[in-house]
């Protein structure tokens, strides 16, 4: 397999081991009642083609069991920055002594995979995503996905765009990052909300109702509305004040924005950081596979 696939497999195994360590051996990554639902629908569970079955349709009642588990899967994958997990591999002798001889002789053409397989133990550093700290502790200690005692809204799930940006920002050992931090604006660091206000145009400050004003900063520029809304249009303005947990004030609006039917987005873009230091590491493992299918002798 290619290098990036090997790294992804290792990350998956680290994640599975961490969840088992934190939540116990009885924590199921696939509950028995969900498995039974697929089996009763007579789908091919051996080859993972369950969603191709005619027995499982979008309006089928069997999906009610599956949907109950969706929030848990989403919470676990979003509450921790799995794309930034750091692990330190320790020597073989931290494993069961009876396995030492076997582990030391494991060989693999990829040096990182060989070290991973030979490790007897590992230290894993997890980063809880900002704003999810209390919820993650409650989940690990009490098994509650979203503690009802937490301030509303009870769920802080990411948007699809934010999750894709975090996945795309993942770096692999020995492979130059596709999106270096000194040049890329991370979507997950931006502040995104929606407004249901009916406002503008106005040359004086305008108050906007938003889902949450957390993260917005007075003096920062914000993008109002979506570019696809041709009737209103997108524009740039400045936040003048934070009025309440659900209200901000902007300096002016050149266009009208109607969020009564469909709330329009309010985005405070992320800021670029300052480069303080950089270094390069050499690794003999290549992360690029090049296949040549042309006859080189015929190319001028």
Which domains does the chain carry? Answer: 3-168 (no CATH), 190-268 (2.40.10)
Is residue 273 pLDDT above 70, yes or no? no
| Per-residue pLDDT, 146 | 67
Mean pLDDT across the stretch 53-67? Answer: 62
Q: Residue 10 CB: number of other CB atoms within 10 A?
A: 19
Distance from the first to the final alpha carbon of the chain: 33
Q: Angle, to 10 degrees, between the axis of helix 32-40 and the axis of helix 63-79?
A: 140
User: In the block, which residue shows the tokens 């040049």?
Assistant: 183
Q: Band of the pLDDT at 59, cuts 50, 70, 90? A: low
Q: Read off the tokens for 155.
A: 């769920």
- pTM for the whole structure: 0.52
Mean pLDDT comparison of 58-62, 76-80, 96-100, highest-scoring range = 96-100
Q: Band of the pLDDT at 65, cuts 50, 70, 90? A: low
Q: Residue 159 CB: number of other CB atoms within 10 A?
A: 12
Per-residue pLDDT tens for 106-143? Answer: 999 999 999 999 999 998 988 888 778 878 888 887 77
């Amino acid at each position: 397999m290619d290098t990036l696939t090997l790294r992804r497999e290792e990350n998956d195994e680290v994640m599975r081991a961490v969840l088992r360590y934190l939540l116990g051996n009885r924590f199921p990554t696939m509950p028995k009642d969900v498995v039974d639902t697929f089996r009763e629908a007579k789908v091919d569970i051996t080859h993972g083609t369950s969603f191709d079955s005619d027995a499982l349709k979008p309006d089928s009642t069997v999906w009610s069991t599956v949907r109950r588990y969706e929030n848990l899967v989403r919470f676990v994958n979003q509450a921790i920055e799995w794309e930034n997990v750091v692990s330190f591999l320790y020597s073989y002798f931290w494993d069961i002594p009876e396995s030492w001889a076997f582990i030391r002789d494991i060989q693999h053409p990829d040096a990182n995979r060989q070290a991973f397989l030979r490790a007897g133990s590992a230290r894993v550093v997890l980063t809880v995503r900002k704003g999810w700290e209390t919820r993650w502790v409650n989940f690990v200690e009490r098994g509650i996905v979203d503690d009802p005692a937490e301030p509303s809204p009870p769920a802080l799930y990411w948007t699809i765009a934010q999750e894709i940006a975090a996945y795309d920002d993942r770096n692999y050992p020995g492979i130059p990052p596709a999106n270096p931090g000194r040049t890329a604006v991370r979507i997950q660091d931006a502040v995104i909300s929606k407004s249901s206000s009916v406002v503008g145009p106005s040359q004086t400050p305008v108050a906007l109702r938003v889902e949450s004003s957390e993260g917005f900063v007075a003096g920062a520029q914000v993008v109002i509305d979506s570019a696809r809304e041709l009737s209103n249009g997108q524009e740039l303005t400045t936040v003048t004040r934070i009025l309440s947990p659900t209200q901000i004030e902007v300096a002016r609006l050149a266009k009208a924005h109607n969020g009564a039917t469909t709330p329009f987005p309010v985005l405070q873009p992320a800021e670029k950081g300052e480069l303080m230091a950089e270094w390069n590491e050499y690794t003999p493992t290549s992360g690029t596979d090049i296949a040549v299918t042309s006859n080189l002798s015929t190319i001028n």
